[in-house]
Amino acid sequence: MQSAPPPPYTEKVSYESAPPPVQTAQPIFLGSPVVSIGTYPVQCICPHCRTQIVSQTAKKPGLLAWLLCGGMALLGFWLCCFIPFCIDSCKDTEHYCPNCHILLGVNKTI
Ligand SMILES: [Zn+2]
């Protein structure tokens, strides 16, 4: 009596590696620093720590404040020329990640 041949090796082995998880419908992705975003904190994914965060904003005197200051100084308004540095709308808004404190982007006044 002949023994039956061993069954062919039928187990399928998939060599395809699983594709990387693709996140869809994600909030604003701030890929590179110094992008134009608003003056208010925005919900985004930090490109550095890959965490969904709401950006922290910081006001810094921008080009507009310096131009107004210079213009006022040229016109003789020496006492008023520092006022633009006190007005938020004359300042640039910098957005930082509250998690890793990296600069996400800057909203420039001009
Ligand atoms: Zn971060």
Residue range(s) defining the domain that contains residue 55: 43-107
**Looking at the domain assignment, is residue 7 inside a domain?**
no
Name residues whose C-beta falls within 8 Å of residue 14's C-beta, 6 or more positions apart in sequence. Answer: none
Q: Are 28 and 54 in contact (CB under 8 A)?
A: no
> How sure is the predictor about 108, in pLDDT bands with cuts at 50, 70 and 90?
confident
Task: Give the distance (Å) from ligand 1 centre to CA of residue 103.
Answer: 9
pLDDT at residue 39 in the model:
87
> How sure is the predictor about 17, in pLDDT bands with cuts at 50, 70 and 90?
low
Partners of 54 in the beta sheet? 43
Q: Are 104 and 92 in contact (CB under 8 A)?
A: no
Task: Give the distance (Å) from ligand 1 centre to CA of residue 55.
Answer: 9
Task: Give the distance (Å) from ligand 1 centre to CA of residue 39.
Answer: 19
User: For the chain, how are helix, strand and coil distributed in percent, rounded to 5?
Assistant: 20, 25, 60
**Looking at the domain assignment, is residue 63 inside a domain?**
yes
pLDDT tens, position by position, 22-66: 544 444 555 544 445 788 899 989 999 999 999 999 999 989 899
**Looking at the domain assignment, is residue 27 inside a domain?**
no
Task: Give the distance (Å) from ligand 1 centre to CA of residue 35.
Answer: 16
**Looking at the domain assignment, is residue 88 inside a domain?**
yes
pLDDT at residue 52 in the model:
93
**Looking at the domain assignment, is residue 81 inside a domain?**
yes
Domains in the chain: how many in total? 1
Give the per-residue SS3 of 43-88: EEECCCCCCEEECEEEEEECHHHHHHHHHHHHHCCCCCCCHHHHCH
Task: Give the distance (Å) from ligand 1 centre to CA of residue 10.
Answer: 48
**Looking at the domain assignment, is residue 6 inside a domain?**
no
pTM score of the predicted model: 0.60
pLDDT at residue 30 in the model:
55
